[in-house]
Amino acid sequence: MKITVIGGSSFIGYGFVKLLSKKKYEVKYSYFENIPQLENGYFLDITNKEKTKEFFRNDESDAIIVSSALTNVDLCEKEPTIANKINVKGIQNIIEGINNPDAKIIYLSTSAVFDGIKSEYHEQDETNPTSQYGITKLAGEKIVMDSKNPFLVLRTDQPYGWKEKWQHTNSVLRVIENLKINESFNEIENWFNSPTYVPDFVKITEMLMENESEGIFHLVGSDFVSRYDWALEVAKIFNLKINLINKINSDELNLPVKRANVHLSNQKVEQETGYKMIGIKKGLEKMKDKLCQK
């Protein structure tokens, strides 16, 4: 199977490139700012329509994984034009550039397409984003679903794991980095997420591809926890000082965007694949095991 990863230097995108390249797949990928030291990487600015069309001109991929996005929630709110340029027009350029009508489009989306009013969200529930980030990602979903290609829309939440030097940090690494130098660390008690271990996300996506599954799936970890409780578990698993973690309310931060507490159900993907996505304890233990193997 031939696979193209758009945004192959991103946190999740690089996870796909690394795993799938080691298996039976023929993988090529695009990057923008950072150049991973892996073969078959090509520069691509998805906001450039002509260059994007050129990228796909001779592409014969069976699946195209789209992980390129502006994911900084506050920046999207402050700069909606930039968010729209990347997360909407960029996706439109990709869809218009794809020549193979049989290529499956695998689009990475977000829990932010929901408003957090319900206690739990399933794939068929009505969307109602409350931020520019969520609005642009939902627009990207619709572009993919309105294309003539088969598709997978994969909504996730708070991806975590070890990162490469060029990649942005994540919630787990922020806790570890601060506590390791005995720095007091503030974490939010009223933000709730379903933290998703990136290797687990990649693994179950591969299963969906092998099953020839189509449609919308929620790919998130099996726990729905506050950032504060998540941080406590990080400290516990990595033997760090729990008493350095301070509980705060998100209102104290005066951020441009109020985060919705969206609990995505992963019941559908478990029924589809027979695999239950792991929770934070097992994910953190896997991270610790990888650290010990280095």
For 93-117, what is each residue's pLDDT tens digit?
999 999 899 999 999 999 999 999 9
CATH at 21: 3.40.50.720
Q: Which amino acid is at 10?
A: S
Please state which of the ranges 157-161, 165-169, 172-176, 273-277 shows the lowest mean pLDDT.
165-169
Instruction: Fill in the DSSP letter of residue 39.
Output: S
220-257 tens-digit pLDDT: 999 999 999 999 999 999 999 999 999 999 999 999 99
- Judging by beta carbons within 10 Å of its beta carbon (0-12, 13-18, 19+), is residue 136 exposed, middle or buried? buried
**Rg of the chain taking only CA atoms, in angstroms:** 19
Let me know if residue 284 belongs to a domain.
no
Residue 73 lies in a domain: yes
Within 10 angstroms of residue 141's Cβ, the number of other Cβ atoms is 20
- Amino acid identity of 74? D
151 within domain boundaries: yes
- pTM of structure: 0.96
Helix (H) or strand (E) holding 106: strand 104-110
- What's the Cα-to-Cα distance from 132 to each of 65, 83, 249, 259, rounded to whole Å? 23, 8, 22, 11
Closest CA to 222 of 250, 264, 186, 190: 264
Query: Does residue 57 belong to any structural domain of this protein?
Result: yes
Residue 177 lies in a domain: no
Mean pLDDT computed over 4-24: 94
209: Cα within 13 Å, side-chain hemisphere: 22
Q: Report if residue 93 sits inside a domain.
A: yes
Give the confidence band of 209 by pLDDT, cuts at 50, 70, 90.
very high
Number of Cβ atoms within 10 Å of the Cβ of 165: 5
**Is residue 40 domain-resident?**
yes
Structural domain count, the chain = 1
Domain of residue 57 covers: 2-160+197-220+262-278
Residue-level pLDDT at 153? 98
Look at residue 170 and tell me if it is in a domain: no
Q: Residue 294: its pLDDT value, please?
A: 60
Q: Which of 278, 105, 129, 128 is nearest to 203 (CA)?
A: 278
The structure tokens 């990475």 sit at 108
Q: What is the dihedral of CA 139, 277, 122, 114, to 10 degrees?
A: -40
| 116-159 residue pLDDT tens | 999 999 999 999 999 999 999 999 999 999 999 999 999 999 99
With residue 200 as reference, give the H or E element that holds it: helix 198-210
Helix (H, G, I), strand (E, B) or coil at 197: strand
